[in-house]
Chain A
């Protein structure tokens, strides 16, 4: 009897999966591979002056409409360290009053233009040093939270959008090194109350200005603040301004120019043994990047970038980086090759000899299986 039931259920599931209904009841599934090979002369890199082959991160994307007004998305990242939930969120896009939209779950936070995008959508291999240095998070500012966005009335077809996020704030946490003092809470085993909640916020205002019927310029300002040490009440605040212009000059070619300016204000908590209290030292570095990317014949792109930023730990030292990149799509958008050369010129405080520049060449292959999504500006 149990065997018969099992066969019936298996038949029903098989029929469902193979029927046209499968596409209706199942989410869209995409899998994106990003293997790469890299060469660097960074003396601090274990692979210094050796070619590395790396399988890269595999992204699995599951997304579907939850109902006519809402969508759900899960993005799982698989790499040598294991499987990780990179993003998992719902969006209520229509049906709310005043044209508001809500997003909730774990997601790449909408600070600036580059952070919300996944690296495989960049025209180069890796995000800019300044973003890695200033924004909380290992690979991106990726947080659990809830986001409310709405459009502000504007003349013509200008799209003004305001977004506010309330975040869990865990990525803002900075582990303080023990001072070694006997009354240091870390030495006493109390820690810096690192497990306590530390809510953070992000706000963004952006405006898209159409140029002709296909090109456009987007301007945005973003701000975020979170607590990097709860016990010391040390905060990390980042302000940013960004611009993106995408200008088509034919049916198959366009110029993309994008830049971001960031200002970091970070309290660095330390323990004062004599006062038996925390002290806060603030650093307020400034930095930014700009890149230009020319896409032509639908399948090729070349570009370059420049970034200049004061180091996050000491604003007295400034680093610079140049990048040249080129890309090629083999047949169409499912398989792309991206080659880039990154030249980082680290700075040094006055009187200290500047370290050697670091050159890194990366060739990445991006192959995507699954439905093609619409291209978002």
Chain B
């Protein structure tokens, strides 16, 4: 009897820390990847994101506290395509030898690959536009990359990760169809964006970007460029200017006053790293563009 109690106790003792240690700790650059990994990883993962959804993801300050967080992680999921180069400083500063780094842009069809890239063209990304997660179908590709990485980190749950990634891909397809049905109803699908962040969203949902407030990426609007935009907005009756919360509202207010464009402020990232937040973000942003009042959280 005593032997049995001892054996059961030993088994439980071995099981409890094993269960606690079984969770794969995942760090991501942005909430969107965190939300996807929360969906794909389910209860087997702990996840956190570095960049705040309302901050400029191109320029994230490397805080020592981020390094401490990443020092405890098993996986780091990068956006890739040169967007989150700051993550390298965090990863290096973490001094984490066991960390596996995953570039989630693998297999994503990249848009706007420049033939030549230099600073005269603004802050261009030499590997192409990196905001690929703004097409839910690219989110599905990232989900499969994430499932692959999770399966290597935790082989015992590999099947669950892969099946959740496939389920997520179906949900992403549904989100795309839902958004497409909304944008198909628009009488004018043209829009202006502040920065070239939204090209994947526009391509996915047949929205036509006819200009950007920045004359070239990363360069603030000039008076002449805004005057040219007024002509474009008036000629094509462009209904919406879509811009991120961290850009100055001056240009948008000016275009709104002079040309009647409606300014929609929306983050390129979802509000939280929780499962479901990533796909819900498309409903929010597209609802705000369509003017159906679906804007919440990071949009207004």
Stretch at the interface among A114-122, A137-145, A155-163: A155-163
Considering the chains assembled together, what is the distance between the CA atoms of A158 and B66 in angstroms?
10
Scoring B92, B94, B95, B123 by chain A CB atoms within 10 A of each residue's CB, the highest score goes to B95
The reply to whether the CB of A100 lies closer than 8 angstroms to some CB of chain B is: yes
> For A297, what are the chain B residues with a Cβ–Cβ distance below 8 Å?
248
Q: Do B71 and A208 have beta carbons less than 8 Å apart?
A: no
> For A376, what are the chain B residues with a Cβ–Cβ distance below 8 Å?
61-62, 89
Chain A contact residues, majority secondary structure: loop
Q: Do B126 and A377 have beta carbons less than 8 Å apart?
A: no
> For A83, what are the chain B residues with a Cβ–Cβ distance below 8 Å?
none
| Binary flags per residue of A355-377, CB closer than 8 Å to B gives 1, else 0 | 00000000000000101111111
Which bucket holds chain A's interface residue count?
Answer: 35 or more
The reply to whether the CB of A93 lies closer than 8 angstroms to some CB of chain B is: yes
> For A100, what are the chain B residues with a Cβ–Cβ distance below 8 Å?
95
Considering the chains assembled together, what is the distance between the CA atoms of A154 and B126 in angstroms?
40
Given contacts A23-B126, A218-B64, contact A331 B94 (CB under 8 A): no
Stretch at the interface among B35-43, B52-60, B173-181: B52-60
Q: Do A369 and B119 have beta carbons less than 8 Å apart?
A: yes
Q: Do B61 and A151 have beta carbons less than 8 Å apart?
A: no
Considering the chains assembled together, what is the distance between the CA atoms of A99 and B245 in angstroms?
37
> For A334, what are the chain B residues with a Cβ–Cβ distance below 8 Å?
119
> For B85, what are the chain A residues with a Cβ–Cβ distance below 8 Å?
371-374
The reply to whether the CB of A243 lies closer than 8 angstroms to some CB of chain B is: no
Considering the chains assembled together, what is the distance between the CA atoms of A157 and B55 in angstroms?
20
Q: Do A214 and B71 have beta carbons less than 8 Å apart?
A: no
The reply to whether the CB of A94 lies closer than 8 angstroms to some CB of chain B is: yes
The reply to whether the CB of A104 lies closer than 8 angstroms to some CB of chain B is: no
Given contacts A374-B86, A376-B89, contact A94 B94 (CB under 8 A): yes
Given contacts A297-B248, A374-B85, contact A94 B92 (CB under 8 A): yes
Given contacts A101-B95, A151-B71, contact A374 B65 (CB under 8 A): no
Q: Do B68 and A159 have beta carbons less than 8 Å apart?
A: yes
Q: Do A375 and B61 have beta carbons less than 8 Å apart?
A: yes
Q: How far is the CB of B297 from chain A (nearest CB, A)?
A: 15
Given contacts A93-B92, A94-B94, A99-B95, contact A332 B219 (CB under 8 A): yes
The reply to whether the CB of A188 lies closer than 8 angstroms to some CB of chain B is: no
Chain B contact residues, majority secondary structure: loop
Q: Do A374 and B92 have beta carbons less than 8 Å apart?
A: no
> For A161, what are the chain B residues with a Cβ–Cβ distance below 8 Å?
64
Q: How far is the CB of B67 from chain A (nearest CB, A)?
A: 6
Considering the chains assembled together, what is the distance between the CA atoms of A154 and B72 in angstroms?
12
Considering the chains assembled together, what is the distance between the CA atoms of A95 and B99 in angstroms?
10
Contact of A99 among B55, B71, B86, B220 (CB under 8 A): B71
Q: How far is the CB of A301 from chain B (nearest CB, A)?
A: 15
> For B246, what are the chain A residues with a Cβ–Cβ distance below 8 Å?
251-252
Of all chain B residues, which has the CB nearest A213? Answer: B52
Scoring B59, B61, B67, B119 by chain A CB atoms within 10 A of each residue's CB, the highest score goes to B61
Considering the chains assembled together, what is the distance between the CA atoms of A214 and B52 in angstroms?
9
> For B71, what are the chain A residues with a Cβ–Cβ distance below 8 Å?
99, 151
| Binary flags per residue of A190-216, CB closer than 8 Å to B gives 1, else 0 | 000000000000000000101001101
| A73-98 at interface with B (beta carbon < 8 Å) | 91, 93-96
Q: Do B123 and A93 have beta carbons less than 8 Å apart?
A: no
Considering the chains assembled together, what is the distance between the CA atoms of A377 and B85 in angstroms?
16
Contact of B65 among A159, A251, A331, A332 (CB under 8 A): A159
Q: How far is the CB of B66 from chain A (nearest CB, A)?
A: 8
Given contacts A96-B97, A101-B95, contact A377 B61 (CB under 8 A): yes
A residues engaging B (CB < 8 A)?
23, 69, 71, 91, 93-96, 99-101, 150-151, 154, 157-159, 161, 208, 210, 213-214, 216, 218, 251-252, 297, 331-332, 334, 369, 371-377
Q: List 14 A-B contacts (CB under 8 A).
A: A91-B92, A93-B92, A96-B95, A157-B69, A161-B64, A208-B63, A213-B52, A214-B52, A216-B64, A332-B123, A332-B218, A332-B220, A372-B123, A376-B89
Beyond A94-B92, A213-B52, A374-B88, 9 additional pairs, beta carbon < 8 A: A93-B93, A96-B97, A99-B71, A208-B63, A208-B64, A251-B54, A331-B220, A374-B90, A377-B63
B residues engaging A (CB < 8 A)?
52, 54-56, 59-65, 67-69, 71, 85-86, 88-97, 99, 119, 123, 126, 218-220, 245-246, 248
